[in-house]
Chain A
Amino acid sequence: GAVVSQHPSRVICKSGTSVKIECRSLDFQATTMFWYRQFPKQSLMLMATSNEGSKATYEQGVEKDKFLINHASLTLSTLTVTSAHPEDSSFYICSAPGSRTTEAFFGQGTRLTVV
């Protein structure tokens, strides 16, 4: 099946710094990438939808200036958490729709800890 590679898998950063998370589609072109956040014992919460070559669409309540999304190519989407705070500590996962308009292919996830 299709592979989405997400890096880093774990990152610890100091409060106030920025962290970039990358998601690459390895064997297919992803015009769309979904970015999720998952807090412990909770479900996936869609943060934003990135579209290659255009601005991302953010879900209500998600700060655009804090979570910067760039989808500059058909194989790479990035999420930058700017001026991170401890409450941003979470599990961030990207996913891309597959060749069918059905199954989503997930990255491995990034565990972000802000200290």
Chain B
Amino acid sequence: GQNIDQPTEMTATEGAIVQINCTYQTSGFNGLFWYQQHAGEAPTFLSYNVLDGLEEKGRFSSFLSRSKGYSYLLLKELQMKDSASYLCAVLDSNYQLIWGAGTKLIIKP
């Protein structure tokens, strides 16, 4: 079956750095997404990786290793507004998005 694993919850301090990991096992791979979702709101696109390596976008970076079925989202200079759930999703061979359960990130002052 298809499976995406990410930690349920993480806590970090304002101004610090946090890395959210995601491992996946899917039927085919056409890219991996990271989305941010605040409570009661729809997800917001953060990043897309289809090739191995690191994609940097401001305070957020996303890394992919296809051979390991692994990705991480790196958040730098954490701000209180970064408190949210972070969803990892993989586009499978049928171009369907397979979603992880999300990682709730709690930022403390």
Contact = CB atoms under 8 A, between A and B. Distances in A.
Q: Do A and B come from one complex?
A: yes
Contacts of B24: none
Interface residues of B, number: 20
Given A44-B87, A101-B95, A106 B42 contact: yes
Main DSSP-derived SS at the B contact region: loop
A70 B31 CA distance: 29
Given A102-B48, A103-B33, A46 B96 contact: yes
Interface string B33-70: 10000001111110010100000000000000000000
Contacts of A46: 96-97
A1 B48 CA distance: 15
Contacts of B101: 42-43
A111 interface: yes
Contacts of B29: none
Nearest to A1: B45
A45 B33 CA distance: 16
Given A43-B99, A43-B101, A46-B96, A103 B48 contact: yes
Interface of A: 1, 6, 34, 42-46, 91, 93, 95, 101-109, 111
